[in-house]
Amino acid sequence: MLNKNPAWRYVLVISMLLLALVYALPNLYPEDPALNISATRGGTVAEQTRLQLEQGFRAANIVAKSVVLEEGQILARFNSTEDQLQAREIANQQLGANFITALNLAPATPGWLTAIGATPMNLGLDLRGGVHFLLAVDMKAALDKNLNDMVQTFRADLREDKIRYRNVQADIGRGQVQITFRSAEDLAAAEAALKQRDRELVFTTGSDNQTLLVSLSENRLKEIREYALEQNITIIRNRVNEIGVAEPLVQRQGADRIVVQLPGVQDTAQAKEILGATASLEFRLVDTDGDLAAALEGRVPPNSELYYSRDGRPVLLEKRIMLTGDHITGASSGYDEYSRPQVNIKLDAKGGSLLSASTKDTIGRRMASVFIEYKPGTEIGADGNPVLIKQQEVINDATIQARLGRDFVITGINSPAEAQNLATLLRAGALIAPIQIIEERTIGPSLGKENIELGITAIQWGMVVVLLFMAVYYKAFGMVANIALVANLVLLVGVMSLIPGATLTLPGMAGIVLTVGMAVDANVLIFERIREELLEGRSVQQAIHHGYDRAFATIADSNITTLLVALVLFGIGTGPVKGFAVTLAIGILTSIFTAVVGTRLLVNLIWGGRRVQSLPI
Amino acid sequence: MQVFNFAKPLNFMRLKWAAVVLSTLLVLGSFTSIAINGINWGLDFTGGTVIEVGFAKPADLVAVRQTLTNAGYDDAVVQLFGTSRDVLIRIPLRPDIAQAEVGDTVLQALNSQQADAVTMRRVEFVGPSVGEELKQDGGLAMLMALLGILAYVAMRFEWRLSVGAVAALAHDVILTLGLFSVLQLEFDLTVLAAILALIGYSINDTIVVFDRIRESFRKLRETTVAETINDAITSTLNRTVITSLTTVLVLVVLFYMGGALIHGFATALLFGIAVGTYSSVYVASAIAEILGISREDMLPPPPVDKEGEGIDAL
């Protein structure tokens, strides 16, 4: 018999390898030091901005490799980090506070590769440098605040329904509200009334028949937790975008955790200030009597203050604050009956009565929402950290149509997107659950670079050692295995580059080294099997055929269990370890392919088609 | 070229009781050391702060310690890391300080009090709850991996072999933990990853032997169980040794060239693979034999050959 393979099988394997090679290529190109310029909220980056920057760079004798406007951002590439840093200063001077400049490393992938979606592998923070934060949302604070809100609401509701009660108080430890009555009748009436207002409440009556214990349903508690988490994620995402980080990651982890990764950021103190900065919200009346023109010249009326809206329009607002954002319990965007976008706002009981009182006599006037945020500025304070700057902007003003209460809507919003944005900001101003940093990992840029170099050296030497060993031990068959090993590395890198979620980390690089050592196992199994078959007196072609067939079951069994372990690792691991699990799993799959399918084709091509008496194995 | 070429199967099972005694002693020794010395848990598990700084010149550790004491961190552990210019500072968790800020204040203190500026290479802070969770999750992961393998091997082979395989894996894991405890090497997250990778590697080895045991049982009809197992181990010995060798080679490369961050990882795997190679030959098969595996257990033809055909059809 002869061992031959149909031509299509060669075509298939070769085209797969070529494809992997093409997708692995971008990793060979170096990265350019670059600047990312984007606009802050409300602003836009235009072609004019780009030209202005180019001129600025030219005037300062900085050679930019390219300055392009893409997807509303400008990307400027430079030859050196010095140029990049200098260019950042110039960009900051020229563009001012409405733009964010971020230092970045832009892959210098040629256009034809980018066009087919070939990009380099994602590098983990341990390789590129940067900060990793794990934040915990203080859920207890969110639930406690909710409990206190419930107390206020119950008091107001019972008063409104004219049900007499002795006392309403929160029992924080048990997570319930206690209402005491003078009689069992009052209690029954209260239970009925409160139940009608909110179906998510759970009632239990105390043994004395005069105490009503109210808690929230599991469903509602879950909702509150989810809301607190989502709210924090939205706020952090907004803030991170403003720090000027090229590719930030803000991701939920589990029930109450948030992962924030800021590649390239070194100044953790600043990053922490920004993450921890507080935002708040105020509602104020618009001062329509005051002279805006005079105020702009510096003569602001004594009872008013000058504010600016997001698009830079000046607004005079009364000094008196009608309501602060901490009374907001929810804000969501939606549509009115004519499907025009609107924002629905819910207040707590106290906020409702405050707003109701202050809008009693002001129907027809305009009410503005002011968003206040503290951000680190360029100035450095005595403690070495940037001084926080109070930033205030009017995010909306609308006419008060009626006396407002606990639920009200803001209409007259231009687009659904704007309504959504406004709702987000309103919620951000009423942060109900504080966050706490429970894990922080910062890798300096020099260590990141060193780690890459160490990893590459280890992979190179690991390869050399194994290639030499196989060539010496198995001779020509060893060379076949070596070709498979190199193909395996190409395939592994190609697949890693192709999968968007796969990230290369330092343990991941160790995983590649390990894969190199273990990938030859399949070939060792096959070759040993072929030797045995030859010893047992089979013909050369039969030995090859049986060697591959018999070894395959073993290879499959042993690798499936290893794959199982890689999955478990992926499940528990975070960051770098997850990267290890990913490389291990992909390495197992690619090595089976190259070592079993690939080498068989090659072996059959060389020895399978002719009558040979012995094998160089 | 061939490492071993035996005319007759070696009598491995002759030494099975010696192996059982040796392994039991080693496992007990590991447990004793873990109980007495404990495990030197790294930052990932204990929580705390680790700061790695680089100096332009070889670092003066005494001066660094003095600076830290002045800054109020008299419980800081200062040591060189990798080179004489790299210093690693560990600061344990303390309830009286804002943990998340330790990194920043230490860097500031070093930069203001030392003659030469230091460069921040790495700052890691892990809160107390995170470390505790990681220990639980890590233990759970090992258990899950072992149970998954137990189920898979029981399904594909036979329960006695399955028990043998998992006992061998547990043996490898316990001995590696024992080594880390005896030498008081730091046990961090990468070491946990290494131990799980070791489970993967070691089961690989064991299954190759088991596969051959199953095959030998069907092929050799007139031999005893011990002889069959001996035959299987002998005929896979070349492969076992060569694969272990290439893996050990790359691990040695990793140990010497992978940098200080990978040291623990490489150490755990190097030791684990040595132990794993021994255990897949002795522990796994010996336990299966002691549990009384017989030819009949292996006879109903499992779908082994089908998979061979599957690849042929590709």
B114-164 pLDDT, tens per residue?
667 788 888 888 888 888 888 888 888 888 888 888 888 888 888 888 899
Distance between B135 CA and the closest CA of chain A, angstroms? 11
Q: How far apart are CA A524 and CA A460, in angstroms?
A: 21
In angstroms, what separates the C-alpha of A472 from chain B's closest C-alpha?
A: 8
Output DSSP code: residue A105.
E
Are B252 and B178 members of one domain? yes
Question: Within B99-224, where are the H helices?
Answer: 102-113, 128-156, 159-182, 189-219
pLDDT attached to residue A157: 85
Chain B residues in contact with A597 by the CB 8 A cut-off are 311, 314
Average pLDDT in the A398-418 region?
84
Contact yes or no for A177/A152 (Cβ under 8 A): no
Domain ranges of chain A: 7-26+445-608, 30-108, 130-276, 279-430
3-state DSSP assignment of residue B97: coil
Q: How far apart are CA A353 and CA A177, in angstroms?
A: 21
- Reported as a single tens digit per residue, the pLDDT across A348-382 is 888 888 888 888 888 888 899 888 776 655 555 54
Residue B76 identity: A
B307 interfacial to chain A (CB closer than 8 Å):
yes
Minimal-distance CA residue of chain B relative to A559: B204
Instruction: Answer yes or no: is pLDDT of B310 > 50.
Output: no
**Structural element, H or E, at residue A28:** none
Q: Which of B95, B126, B157 is the last residue of a domain?
A: B126
Task: For residue B81, give the H/E element and its range.
Answer: strand B77-81
Q: Do residues B45 and B130 make contact, with C-beta atoms less than 8 angstroms apart?
A: no
Same domain, B233 and B117: no
Q: Considering only alpha carbons, which residue of chain A is nearest residue B134?
A: A572
State the Cα–Cα distance between residues A227 and A244, nearest whole angstrom. 27
So what's the pLDDT on residue B32?
Answer: 96
Neighbours of A432 (CB within 10 A): 23
Nearest to A510 among B104, B124, B254 (CB): B254
* Cβ proximity of A583 and A515 under 8 Å: yes
Would you call A562 and B148 a contact, using CB atoms and an 8 Å cutoff?
no
Q: Could you tell me the pLDDT band of residue A458, with boundaries at 50, 70 and 90? A: very high
Q: Kindly list the distances between the CA atom of residue A71 and the CA atoms of A36, A65, A88, B76, in Å, as whole numbers in the listed order.
A: 12, 19, 20, 49
* Residues B277 and B184 occupy one common structural domain: yes
Within 8 A by CB and 6+ apart from A398, the residues are A366, A367, A410, A411, A412
Q: Give the pLDDT score at A376.
A: 53
Domain CATH for B247: 1.20.1640.10
Chain B hits for A524, CB-CB cut-off 8 Å, are 239, 242-243, 246
Rounded to an integer, the average pLDDT of A98-110 is 80
Return the ∠ at Cα A392 (arms to A390 and A394), rounded to 5°.
Answer: 175
pLDDT digits (tens, 9 = 90+) for B49-58: 999 998 888 8
Second-level CATH architecture of A7-26+445-608:
Up-down Bundle (1.20)
Q: How many beta-carbon contacts under 8 Å exist across A and B?
A: 238
Decide if B95 touches A, using CB distance below 8 A: no
Say yes or no: B291 and B268 in one domain. Answer: yes
What count of other Cβ atoms lies within 10 Å of the Cβ of residue A323? Answer: 22
Distance (Å, whole) CA A82 – CA A535: 67
d(CA B314, CA B312): 5
Q: Which of residues 3-42 of B touch A (CB under 8 A)?
A: none
What is the distance in angstroms between the Cα of A6 and the nearest Cα belonging to chain B? 10
Domain boundary among B106, B126, B146: B126
Q: Is the pLDDT of residue B97 over 70?
A: no
Which residues in chain A have their CB less than 8 angstroms from residue B312's CB?
549
In a domain, B70, yes or no: yes
Measured CA to CA, the distance from residue A66 to residue A496 in angstroms comes to 28
Q: What domain count does chain B have?
A: 2
Q: Which has the closest alpha carbon to B161: B7, B27, B291?
A: B291
* Whether residue B100 is found in the same domain as residue B215: no
Q: What is the DSSP letter of B93?
A: -
Interface of B with A in 177-236 (CB under 8 A): 189-190, 192-193, 196-197, 199-201, 203-205, 207-208, 211-212, 215, 235-236
The residue assigned the tokens 């990798």 is B82
Complete DSSP assignment for A39-74? E-TT----HHHHHHHHHHHHHTT--EEEEEEETTEE
Tokens 């020794």 sit at which residue?
B29
Q: Which of A249-258, A403-412, B24-33 has the highest mean pLDDT?
A: B24-33
Residue of B nearest to A438 (CA): B127
CATH of domain A30-108: 3.30.70.260
Q: What is the DSSP letter of A121?
A: P
CATH class of A279-430: alpha beta
Domain identity same for B214 and B285: yes
How much of chain A is helix, strand and coil, in % rounded to 5? 50, 25, 25
Looking at the partner chain, which of B141, B239, B250 has a beta carbon nearest the beta carbon of A465? B250
B126, B242, B262 member nearest A524 (Cβ):
B242
Please report, as a single letter, which amino acid is at residue B186: E
One-letter amino acid identity for A168?
V
Q: Which amino acid is at B157?
A: F
User: Are both B75 and B172 inside the same structural domain?
Assistant: no
pLDDT digits (tens, 9 = 90+) for A482-494: 999 999 999 999 9
Please report, as a single letter, which amino acid is at residue A468. L
Average pLDDT over residues A536-563: 88
Name the one residue in this structure whose structure tokens are 């290479």: B121
CA distance A107 to A120: 7
Q: How far is B282 from chain A (nearest CA, A)?
A: 18
Residue B312: predicted pLDDT:
45
What is the gyration radius of the CA atoms in chain B, in angstroms?
25
- For A238, counting Cβ atoms within 10 Å of its Cβ (0-12 exposed, 13-18 middle, 19+ buried), the class is middle
Q: Do A450 and B207 touch (CB under 8 A)?
A: no
Q: What's residue A327's pLDDT? A: 83
Nearest CA in chain B to A270: B104
Select the residue from A457, A468, A514 to test the B interface by mutation, using most B Cβ atoms within 10 A.
Answer: A514
Give the predicted TM-score (pTM) of the model: 0.78
Q: Report the distance separating Cα B75 and Cα B77, nearest Å.
A: 7
> B200 lies in which domain range?
12-40+130-309
Neighbours of A68 (CB within 10 A): 10
Q: Does B54 touch chain A (CB under 8 A)?
A: yes
Q: Do A510 and B262 touch (CB under 8 A)?
A: yes
**C-alpha–C-alpha distance, residues A64 and A61, integer Å:** 9
Residue B292 CA to its chain's centroid (Å):
30
- The answer to whether residues B134 and B117 belong to one domain is no
Q: What is the DSSP string of A489-553?
A: HHHHHHHHHHSTT-EE-HHHHHHHHHHHHHHHHHHHHHHHHHHHHHHTT--HHHHHHHHHHHHHH
Per the DSSP assignment, residues forming a β-bridge with A161 are none
- Put simply, whether B303 touches A (Cβ < 8 Å) is no
In-domain check, residue B153: yes
**Bigger pLDDT: A170 or B306?**
A170
Find the CB nearest B249 among A454, A465, A531: A465
CATH number at residue B88: 3.30.70.3400
Task: Read off the amino acid at residue A277.
Answer: A
Instruction: Determine, yes or no, domain membership for B3.
Output: no
- B55 interfaces chain A, CB cutoff of 8 Å: no
Residue B131, chain A, CB below 8 Å: the answer is: no
How many angstroms separate the CA atoms of B93 and B46, rounded? Answer: 8
pLDDT band at residue A243 under the 50/70/90 scheme: low
Confidence class for position B302, pLDDT limits 50, 70, 90: low
Instruction: Report angle CA A455, A456, A459 to the nearest 5 degrees.
Output: 85
Which residues from chain A sit within 8 angstroms of residue B197, using beta carbons? Answer: 511, 514, 565, 569, 580, 584
Does residue B190 surpass a pLDDT of 90? Answer: no
Residue range B75-87: average pLDDT?
Answer: 87
Q: Are residues B32 and B101 in the same domain?
A: no
Kindly state whether B132 is in contact with chain A, defined as any CB-CB distance less than 8 angstroms. no
Judge if B233 and B257 occupy the same domain. yes
ipTM: 0.86
Is the pLDDT confidence value at A577 over 90? no
- d(CA B143, CA B184) in angstroms, rounded, equals 24
pLDDT of residue B300: 59
**A568 contacts in chain B (CB < 8 Å):** 141, 144-145, 148, 196
More confident residue, A237 or B174: B174
Residue B118 in any domain: the answer is: yes
Chain A residue with the nearest C-alpha to that of B143: A568
B103 inside 8 A of chain A by CB: yes
Using the beta-carbon criterion (under 8 Å), do B119 and A469 form an inter-chain contact? no
B235 in the same domain as B90: no
3-state SS class at A183: coil
DSSP character at residue B101: G
Which residues on chain B are in Cβ contact (under 8 Å) with A523?
Answer: none
Domain annotation covers residue B1 = no
Look at residues B111, B126, B141 and tell me which one is the last residue of a structural domain. B126
Place of tokens 């590719």: A247
The position carrying tokens 């231009």 is A414
Percent of chain B with pLDDT over 70: 91
Chain A residues touching residue B125 (CB < 8 angstroms):
437, 439-441
Side-chain half-sphere of A518: how many Cα atoms within 13 Å? 31
Task: Give CA–CA dist A275/A262, Å, rounded.
Answer: 11
Q: Are residues B111 and B244 in the same domain?
A: no
Cβ contact B1–A472 (<8 Å): yes
